[in-house]
Amino acid sequence: MRFNNPVVKGMYPDPSVCKVKDTYYLACSSFQYFPGVPLFESKDLINWKPIGHCLTRQSQIQLDKVNSSGGVFAPTLRYHNGRFYMTTTNDTTRQNFYVWTDDIYGEWSDPINVDQGGIDPDLYFEDGKAYFMSNGADDHGRGGIVQCQIDIETGCKLTPSRVIWQGTGGRYLEAPHLYKINGWYYLLAAEGGTEYGHMVTYARGPSPGGPFEAYPLNPVLTNRNLGGYEIQGVGHGDLVQDNGGNWWMLHLGFRQIGRWFAYHHLGREVFLTPVTFGENGWFTAGDNGTTLSCFETDRIPEEVVQNEKKSDTFENTEWDKDWCYLRLPRSGNYSFERNRLTLKGTEISLDQADTPTFIGIRQRDFNAVITCDVSLESGEAGITLYMDENHHYDFAIRKDENGYKVIERLNIGDIKSIEKAVDIHHSCASLIIRSTPNAYSFVVQVDGKEIHLGTAQTKYLSSEVAGGFTGVMIGLYAYGEGCLAEFSNFKCEYA
């Protein structure tokens, strides 16, 4: 059969996967968004359904006034003796921790901290022992992939932290995962930075602590130096074996907005790549070590169909699974119905690293039409294309002393400009945003007429301009004390 990449679209970076019986489970990073660490399940590795989050209580994660791209970094999801474990980092507090659950569809435990630094923590279980790994420095300050044994009940270290591998020489060695396959212990990692030089490397050894020998042909997977190729930034992978005994890698990558236009704003997404073990015990990945936008494979039955969701609406999404907030929301400011959303504004704006009244869903493709009916009596409310507090495009209705206006405001770094404002005679309007790979256009529909306010280039919401590790969220927001806004008929339709 033929499947297309990415298999999970939109800003879902740093995927980690585990398999329980015939079901695969996937966890991804969430950074400053709440709930934290989104979860998916699949029966075939290509169709993934959101099932919830690991961090659903504010007591589980400190996100108050966390800057964009801070907060919850790369998770590892593992299953051992009937229990799921998710270990991750709050990069803002520099604390590694894990949570656990016996029901992946239910609540997770309170955090259990581990006194080992670095980020991208990993758990490996064997013979009653729990090994904890991260990138960072050991107890003597030596850098690399660091490992210790922990008491899985308490998180307390049972052995000193020591470096077990220092990679192949690429910068930003990270994302360690340990596996035992056919008698060898394989240590997977990422190097090169989560950008255009990103790559997957690995080593193998005779024990969980090594010594580890690097794969002679590292990197095993990378799309670096592929000029004119849409998929870039390939790295940060996790291995999983399917029911047929075949091996796969779920990993991140991103789609740049044009073959020769090196910007990306959808964020880092989830890609699937086949892995093949050779007779010598080393494995290869992808198409000559690269990830493709489309793979032909006989590993997935022909009757499996890759289903792609072409629209998001209030009715076909779930508030607690598909949508998320900025940092720690004030629940009293949100009222949900099946086809309507009511938001109560505050004096906290989208420009602050704080908790504005905002709920967002990830933009999943370049070509889209976003529509929503918005009404309010005071303040400001509308749609924001949100990258971070310094980079977002706002399309909104605003009430001032002269009446109601629809505004197009561009926020690019220190430049914050209302590009155009048009007067309307009502407190409600239909807002329309048309998206292409290169630009957003803003149109308001009032009294059956469409008024075009302007356009804005997508590249100014890209990681190359804004920095950080996130992607564009389609956010609905309200601003201003006393603002009470209603949103209805929301739809994001992808071409």
3-class SS of residue 75: coil
- 44, 120, 174, 388: which one is catalytic? 174
Q: Residue 205's beta-bridge partner residues?
A: 185
Which helix (H) or strand (E) segment is 272 a member of? Answer: strand 269-277
Which helix (H) or strand (E) segment is 465 a member of? Answer: helix 463-466
First to last CA, the chain: 23
Tabulate helix, strand, coil % of the chain (nearest 5): 5, 55, 45
Alpha-carbon Rg for the chain in angstroms: 23
Whether residue 14 lies in the annotated active site: yes
3-class SS of residue 304: coil
C-alpha 251/C-alpha 417 separation (Å) is: 38
**Are 233 and 195 contacting, i.e. CB atoms less than 8 angstroms apart?**
yes
**Are 325 and 336 contacting, i.e. CB atoms less than 8 angstroms apart?**
no
The secondary structure of 77-144, three-state, reads: EEEECCEEEEEEEECCCCEEEEEEECCCCCCCCCCEEECCCCEEEEEEEECCEEEEEEEEECCCCCEE
C-alpha 107/C-alpha 26 separation (Å) is: 16
**Are 320 and 331 contacting, i.e. CB atoms less than 8 angstroms apart?**
no
For residue 187, count other CB atoms closer than 10 A to its CB: 26
Q: Annotate 369-419 with DSSP letters as a single string.
A: EEEEEEEESSSEEEEEEEEETTEEEEEEEEEETTEEEEEEEEEETTEEEEE
Enter the tokens of residue 107.
């609540």
Whether residue 354 lies in the annotated active site: no
User: How far is the CA of 340 from the CAs of 21, 224, 336, 360, 369, in angstroms?
Assistant: 39, 44, 6, 14, 19
Amino acid identity, position 232: Q
Identify the residue whose tokens are 């770094």.
413
User: How far is the CA of 403 from the CAs of 2, 140, 172, 344, 425, in angstroms?
Assistant: 55, 66, 53, 20, 8
**Are 163 and 183 contacting, i.e. CB atoms less than 8 angstroms apart?**
no
3-class SS of residue 331: helix
Neighbour order of strands in the sheet with 162-165:
119-126, 129-137, 143-150, 162-165
User: How far is the CA of 300 from the CAs of 274, 304, 306, in angstroms?
Assistant: 11, 7, 11
Q: Which residues are catalytic?
A: 14, 174
